[in-house]
Amino acid sequence: MGAFTVLFACSFLFSMLINSATSNIIYPSQSIRDGATLLSTGGKFELGFFSLGNSTKRYLGIWYKKSPRTVIWVANREVPLSNTLGVLNISSKGILVLYSSTNDIVWSSNSSRTAEDSVADLLETGNLVVREGNDSNPDNFLWQSFDHPGDTMILGMKLGSNFVTKIDKFLSSWKSAEDPARGEYSFVIDTHGYPQLLLKRGNITVFRAGPWNGIKFIANPSPIPISNEFVFNSKEVYFQFGIQTSVLSRLTISPLGLPQSFKWNDRTNDWVITDGGQFDQCENYAFCGPNTRCEMSRSPICACLDGFIPKSLADWNFSDWSDGCIRRTPLECSGKVGFLKYTGMKLPDTSSSWYDKSKSLKECQGLCLKNCSCTAYANLDIRQGGSGCLIWFGDLIDTRRSTGDGQDLFVRMNASELGTYSKMQLFIHKVSFYLCTEEKIFLFLLNSYRMESRRSLLCCFVHI
């Protein structure tokens, strides 16, 4: 019995050593085998092998030490291991390599830069980096997992594009809760025109958070917290999630394409959803078609911009708004033009826009007037009274009345039509009381004027 007890104790200790967390660094002379892990310096994150749900497939990834089921990054998301014999090591040139039991390369870091005396280091931020042994400068990292995110964004990570390294950083959903391979949805910074945040299903835009207005992305509601940073210069453009805080938080894209924000609750020892990413109809990209505005408080929720009419009246009357609206009269180039001001708006799609950070709003108007193709303009930045110039060409796509603090949008119109519109407003204001006593005149105006006027007249008629 004594020998058996000693043998059992030795086996138990050996098992604990194999499965215990090692230091935060892998040297070229070391390997991480399935069952062993790396632990970040402060103990917040852990790297190792894992399986999902009832699946026996094995993956190498990083998770929160407090929440081992919450995986924030997967190395071999497309090529799982079939058994528990996977091995991770770092070559003498600084390349991370994951081997299968048959010594096949399942995944590697594929760094464009190599160096002697390199190590792999799991940082307290959750970032797995390859660096030279004595160099901890982030600018000199040879490779980092933060440049290759999966479905999760955490503090310190960036979404966007580096114009120098040509690295694009975006979130991509898992196929399912048990399959981390890339799914249908992605969360990206689109750099066509002025950068904006998009949720895409394949190549199709599903939701657009809009451009950055100096404080936040314009769309509201949005699963993106306000405490974040947006940087756009000649070298890079990126959105950085959150501020440094002791509270664990993350943003994920679910397999169904829902952006969701979470915070860790130490009292319940679990994650709390702070935003479930449930969108209303107006958040569906271009739901009302071109040159419209969507507003959930209206019925119907889609309306043509002033001076525009439905492109297909028959479809419009059957609540098919996908074709949107066209101008009632073609926009003049040589004639006199003006602008209608819309307040509290989610600005249109900026993929075909032009911008200048140094121009004032007045200068922006002047630039728009000089270009026959310009259809609208707005400020880039709403802080300190507004600054910067954003100009649209062609159709105005995905515009809605914001449920929060939207921006002013100036839409170009022919001066003749603009004058008529102004007179209509004044006329309705002066005689609205009398219209309420004459049903025939009221109905005529109800079918002739824009929706805001119709709604105000209707309220007047009902209350009399």
What CATH number labels 149-279? 2.90.10
pLDDT digits (tens, 9 = 90+) for 250-287: 999 999 999 998 999 999 999 999 877 667 899 899 99
* Nearest-angstrom CA–CA distance, 392 and 332: 16
- Higher local confidence (pLDDT), 305 or 21: 305
Which two structure tokens, joined as six digits, stand for 439?
A: 């049903």
Rg (CA), the chain: 29
* Nearest-angstrom CA–CA distance, 151 and 185: 9
Residues of the chain with CATH 2.90.10.10: 1-104
pLDDT digits (tens, 9 = 90+) for 141-168: 999 999 999 999 999 999 999 999 899 9
Mean pLDDT score across all residues of the chain: 83
The pLDDT of residue 225 is above 60: no
pLDDT above 90 as % of the chain: 64
DSSP string, 292-355: EEE-TTSSSSEEEPTTEEESSHHHHHTT--TT-EEESSPPPSSS-EEEEEEEEEEPPP-TTEEE
What pLDDT score does 10 carry? Answer: 38
For the chain, the residue count is 464
The pLDDT of residue 7 is above 70: no
What pLDDT score does 426 carry? Answer: 34
pTM confidence score: 0.82
- Read off the DSSP letter of residue 91: -
Nearest residue to 375 via CA among 394, 355, 348, 352: 394
Which two structure tokens, joined as six digits, stand for 431?
A: 């005689």
Most confident of 20-34, 179-193, 237-251, 267-281: 179-193
Q: Is 54 exposed, middle or buried (0-12, 13-18, 19+ CB in 10 A)?
A: exposed
pLDDT digits (tens, 9 = 90+) for 420-451: 554 433 333 333 333 333 333 333 333 333 33
Tokens 């200048």 — which residue?
A: 356
| Angle at alpha carbon of residue 175, lines to 123 and 180, rounded to 5° | 30
What pLDDT score does 93 carry? Answer: 87
Compute how many other C-beta atoms are within 10 angstroms of the C-beta atom of residue 109.
22
Q: Which amino acid is at 360?
A: S
What CATH number labels 1-104? 2.90.10.10
- Read off the DSSP letter of residue 81: B
DSSP string, 351-393: TTEEEETT--HHHHHHHHHH-TTEEEEE-SB-GGG-B-EEEEE
pLDDT digits (tens, 9 = 90+) for 295-310: 988 899 999 999 999 9
Q: Is 384 helix (H, G, I), strand (E, B) or coil?
A: helix
pLDDT digits (tens, 9 = 90+) for 344-401: 899 999 999 999 999 999 999 999 999 999 999 999 998 888 999 999 999 999 999 8
What pLDDT score does 460 carry? Answer: 27
Nearest residue to 141 via CA among 170, 171, 172, 162: 162
Tell me the β-bridge partners of 105: 99
Confidence of residue 187 (pLDDT cuts 50, 70, 90): very high
E-strand stretches of 17-167: 21-22, 25-26, 31-33, 37-39, 45-50, 59-64, 71-74, 87-90, 96-99, 105-108, 118-122, 128-132, 143-144, 152-154, 158-162
DSSP string, 414-449: EHHHHHHHHHHHHHHHHHHHHHTT-HHHHHHHHTTS
* Nearest-angstrom CA–CA distance, 38 and 407: 48
Q: Which amino acid is at 54?
A: N
Q: Considering only 9-13, 45-49, 291-295, which range has the smallest mean pLDDT? A: 9-13
Confidence of residue 248 (pLDDT cuts 50, 70, 90): confident
pLDDT digits (tens, 9 = 90+) for 115-140: 888 999 999 999 999 999 889 999 99
What pLDDT score does 447 carry? Answer: 35
pLDDT digits (tens, 9 = 90+) for 76-118: 999 999 999 999 999 988 999 999 999 999 999 987 787 888 9
* Nearest-angstrom CA–CA distance, 464 and 442: 13
- Read off the DSSP letter of residue 364: H
